[in-house]
Structure formats: C-alpha cells, structure tokens
Chains A and B, each alone.
Chain A
Amino acid sequence: MAGLELFQRMSVEQVARWLELHPFEIVRILVADGSLPSDLKLDANCVERVRVAGGLETWWDGPPAPRGDEPPVRALVRALFARLLDRGYVEPKLVRADNLFRGLDAEHQRALRRSVNALIRGGVLTSAMSATGLTLSLAAGREADARTFADQGAGPIDRLWDQD
C-alpha cells in the first residue's frame, strides 16, 4: 500500500534529485520566476515551472559510442558540439551550463566538465552568469570549427578540448 507520499507535495530536495539540480538552484529559479511556495513544498506545477523558467533540458540518455578507437571523451565532446549547433546555442543565445551534462553518469559528467572548462579557456565556448545560474554558448564565429570537429573530429578544436 502507498504511504503518505501519495498525498504529499514534494520537498525541494526531492525535486532537486528528480531534476539533477542543486536544491539552491531550484530555489533561485523559483524566486526569479516569482513562484516559490512560502512553505517550500512543491507540486507538479512548481516542478514544471522550474523546468520551464530555468530552461532545463536533458541532452543525454547515455554517453555516445566512440568511432573506432576514438577516446570516449573525445566522442562525448564531439557529440556536445553537435547538440550545441543543432539547438542553435551560438552567442548570444545562451544555454544553462548544467544542461550540457544532464543525463550523463557522474564519471562522464566529470570528464565533460574538464573539457568544457578547457574550451572556455580556449575561447571556443563563452560563459556568463544569470539569476538562475551559469550559462554557456558557442562563441560567435566558431560555428565552422565546431561543425568540423563534431562531424570529423578535426580542426582547431581538436587541439583544445583536452587541454588542462
């Protein structure tokens, strides 16, 4: 038989686990949206508000398969560029930084984070802070490089993604 949770609204922590987002981010998104319930209990409508107002997207249902003997992380970064281009996240259009990792397991998230940091340092990706967290986009003018790397694993980006 079901317990009380059948009737209860969700805690911030439960929603955070569900959406793979830090609880403080959930709070900030709902404050920015003006829809944080005063008792901090969230219903399905609130969860949807977090998803929409926060611009939450799930980009992965698992790591992509590498081509031949390609390193798995390189395949991951290529797939990331393909997703950025397909969704049009080229400067000035911004995407939540955590969208880039949602759906991956912890190990692949860590690897991709390292590469994303290297690509920000290399000027291929740009980052900016917003009220609802860190945002990223592909730097304007780097679309051709990104497409070459995404499709062929070649070009200037191939020298940047694994720079520590």
Chain B
Amino acid sequence: MSESGKHPAVIAVLEEIAQWKSRADGEFTTSMAEVDREEDASRRAIEEAQRQLLALATLRAELRDKHAQVAMEAERRERAALREGLSTDRGVIEARAAQLDVAIGAREAELQGQLKDPEVAAAVEEYEKFVEVEASLAALPASYRRAILDHHERVRRRLEPVIAASNAGPPVLGLSPVGVGVLFAVDPADGTPEALVAVLPVPYSVCRDWAERKEDLASLFAYRVVAAVSRLLAAVGAGSAPIQYTELAGCLAIQVWLGDCEIVGDLNERALEEIDALREEAEELSAAGIELYGLWVRAAMLADEEG
C-alpha cells in the first residue's frame, strides 16, 4: 500500500505493461496484416509466373510442332520441286528430240535427192553391188580381186561427199541452251552406300518400249548415262554390281545395288566427273542446245511421298 493513499505503484507499472503489450499487440497485428498482404502478393506473383511458364512451355511445344511441319513441308516442296524439274527437263528433251528429228529428216531428204542424180545413182548401184559380193571376193583370183577393189575404191571416192554427209554429226538446231539435270542419290546417305540411283529426265518408255519407239535424242541421252554409270561403277570397283532400270515419276531411273561391293574412291565426285565427260562427248546434246548437269540429292527426296 502506498503511503499517500494512492494506488500502489505496482499498479501503474502493470498498467504501463498492459499499455505496452496492447501497443505491441497492435503493432503485431498490423505487421502480420502487412506480411499477409505481402505473402498474398507474392503468391499471386508466383501463380502468375507459373501461368507464364506454362504458357511458355505450351508456346515452345507449338513452335516445335510448327517447325517440324516446316521441315516436313520443306521436304515435300523439295520433293515436288525435283519431280517438277524432272518433268520440265523431260519436256525439254522430248521437244528438242522432235525438232532434231525434223532437222535430221530434212538433211536426209536433201541427201536422198542427191542420190537421184543419174551419175550418183549409177555409182550407188555399183557400190551396192560391191557390198553384196564383198564377202565372196576372197575366192576370186588375186588379179581379178585387185581390179574389183581398185574400181570400188574409185566409186567410193566419187561417193565420198554423200558417205561423209550420211555419217555426219547431228545438225545444229541453233536454239538457246537449256540446262537439264540427272539426279543422283545413294542410300544410306551416310556411311557405306548400299544403293545408287540415277534419275534421267527421259521417259521410261525409252527403256521399256525401245523395240516399239524410234530411237531419238531421249534414247541417246539414256545410252550416254547408262555408259557413264557403267564407267563410274568400273572406276569405283563395282563393275559387276547388279543394275535395274525402273520408272520414277515417269522418268527412267537406273538403280544399282552396291551392298556386295567395296567402293573405292569418291562415288559422288566421280559421278559428276562422268557427267562432265558425257557433256563434252555428246554432240547430239550440244546440237540440240541441251546442257547436262549432275546433281546429288538425298535419297529420301526421290522416294514416293507417304500416305
């Protein structure tokens, strides 16, 4: 008890403590409310970030899908472009074959006209008779045989311009040059090749129907590529590799099984060298204004589209 009759001093202390505690409680409540708000805000931010991550993951998957479709579409377009190119080149060769045939026909008609000249006709008749009996000349006495051969030589000289013109190279069409391509591919693309294919821009009928169709520029083109492939195979140690001729997009394809051969050297480079040599050699292609190129493509680009 206080001496003044006032409340004991301890009460004041306790009141102070109570006030202090009340303030502390108030501060605590305020602070906790602040923490709760901050926590809520952070949680919302995390949820938003998670939503964004999810959206980004979805976008990534969509982009990947789209990109895969782009790659597939690029392959589809590439495959279509190669086939379109083959078809266009085949059209060029067929058109120029027809033009070359007309030019050859005109030249032969002119030569046939020369054969009607009475002097030339008489010489041709003698030439023909000699050809008929040539095989039996050996049975004749030497002096008689010599006289016949001398006479034939005179006839041959008289006909030399006609003979030379008959065997002259193809007439030059004088058309602007057009490039056409032979497509090459090996399977598998990496490692040891098991199969080689060359696709020519000529109709498959050149191979299948050769006995029914007239030999033309497309036929000669095919002979030259068959020769080039044969030389290529011999050069890389695959001379006995089995060859098949098949149809691809209406064109002639030369397929070679290399699985049983050990390839020596660079198949790709050698193939292009053979095409270069072919281009130099093929008079009829030059005459028709055809410039030949070799082009390596992925084997998948020559396969039929799935589905």
Where the two chains meet, the residues of A that have a C-beta atom closer than 8 Å to any C-beta of B are: 1-4, 6-9, 11-13, 16-17, 22-24, 27-28, 30-32, 36, 38-41, 128-131
CB contacts between A and B, total, < 8 Å: 86
The answer to whether B115 touches A31 (Cβ under 8 A) is no
Q: Kindly state the separation between the CA atoms of A130 and B260 in the bound complex, as whole angstroms.
A: 12
Residue of A2, A7, A13, A31 most packed against chain B (CB within 10 A): A7
B28 within 8 A of A: no
CB<8 Å pairs between A and B, sample of 23: A1-B125, A1-B128, A2-B127, A4-B115, A4-B162, A4-B166, A6-B127, A6-B128, A8-B166, A11-B215, A12-B215, A13-B215, A22-B207, A24-B222, A24-B223, A27-B230, A32-B230, A36-B227, A40-B223, A128-B240, A131-B230, A131-B233, A131-B234
The answer to whether A31 touches B108 (Cβ under 8 A) is no
Give the residues from 31 to 74 in chain B that come closer than 8 angstroms, CB to CB, to chain A: none
The answer to whether B210 touches A16 (Cβ under 8 A) is yes
The answer to whether A23 touches B124 (Cβ under 8 A) is no
Q: Kindly state the separation between the CA atoms of A24 and B111 in the bound complex, as whole angstroms.
A: 30
Give the residues from 208 to 239 in chain B that come closer than 8 angstroms, CB to CB, to chain A: 210-211, 215, 219-220, 222-224, 226-227, 230-231, 233-234, 239
Contact flag A131-B239 (CB < 8 Å), given A4-B111, A22-B210: yes
Residues of B within 8 A of A22 (CB): 207, 210
The answer to whether B169 touches A39 (Cβ under 8 A) is yes
B91 within 8 A of A: no
B152 to chain A, nearest CB (A): 13
Residue of B127, B163, B241, B243 most packed against chain A (CB within 10 A): B243
Residues of B within 8 A of A23 (CB): 210, 215, 219, 223
The answer to whether A129 touches B223 (Cβ under 8 A) is no
The answer to whether B245 touches A24 (Cβ under 8 A) is yes
Contact flag A28-B219 (CB < 8 Å), given A39-B169, A41-B167, A129-B240: no
The answer to whether B128 touches A2 (Cβ under 8 A) is yes
B124, B131, B224: the one within 8 Å of A1 (CB): B124
The answer to whether A31 touches B207 (Cβ under 8 A) is no
Q: Kindly state the separation between the CA atoms of A38 and B224 in the bound complex, as whole angstroms.
A: 9
- Of chain A, the residue at the smallest CB distance from B169 is A39
Residues of B within 8 A of A36 (CB): 227
B283 within 8 A of A: yes
Give the residues from 77 to 116 in chain B that come closer than 8 angstroms, CB to CB, to chain A: 108, 111-112, 115
A57 to chain B, nearest CB (A): 20
The answer to whether A40 touches B220 (Cβ under 8 A) is yes
Contact flag A4-B112 (CB < 8 Å), given A16-B210, A27-B230, A40-B224: yes
Residues of A within 8 A of B241 (CB): 129
The answer to whether B231 touches A31 (Cβ under 8 A) is yes
Give the residues from 109 to 153 in chain B that come closer than 8 angstroms, CB to CB, to chain A: 111-112, 115, 121, 124-125, 127-128, 131
Q: Kindly state the separation between the CA atoms of A21 and B103 in the bound complex, as whole angstroms.
A: 29
The answer to whether A13 touches B108 (Cβ under 8 A) is no
A30 to chain B, nearest CB (A): 8
Residues of B within 8 A of A27 (CB): 223, 226-227, 230
B159 within 8 A of A: yes
Residues of A within 8 A of B291 (CB): none
The answer to whether B210 touches A6 (Cβ under 8 A) is no
The answer to whether B124 touches A129 (Cβ under 8 A) is no
The answer to whether B240 touches A130 (Cβ under 8 A) is yes
Residues of B within 8 A of A131 (CB): 230, 233-234, 239-240
B111, B128, B211, B227: the one within 8 Å of A31 (CB): B227
Residues of A within 8 A of B127 (CB): 2, 6-7
Contact flag A129-B242 (CB < 8 Å), given A3-B112, A12-B223: yes
- Of chain A, the residue at the smallest CB distance from B281 is A38
- Of chain A, the residue at the smallest CB distance from B122 is A1
The answer to whether B226 touches A28 (Cβ under 8 A) is yes
Residues of A within 8 A of B245 (CB): 24
Q: Kindly state the separation between the CA atoms of A70 and B78 in the bound complex, as whole angstroms.
A: 59
Q: Kindly state the separation between the CA atoms of A74 and B169 in the bound complex, as whole angstroms.
A: 50
Contact flag A9-B215 (CB < 8 Å), given A2-B124, A4-B111, A31-B227: no
Residues of B within 8 A of A11 (CB): 215
The answer to whether B131 touches A6 (Cβ under 8 A) is yes
Given A7-B127, A13-B210, A39-B283, 10 further pairs, Cβ under 8 A: A2-B124, A2-B127, A4-B166, A12-B219, A22-B207, A24-B245, A27-B226, A30-B227, A40-B220, A40-B223
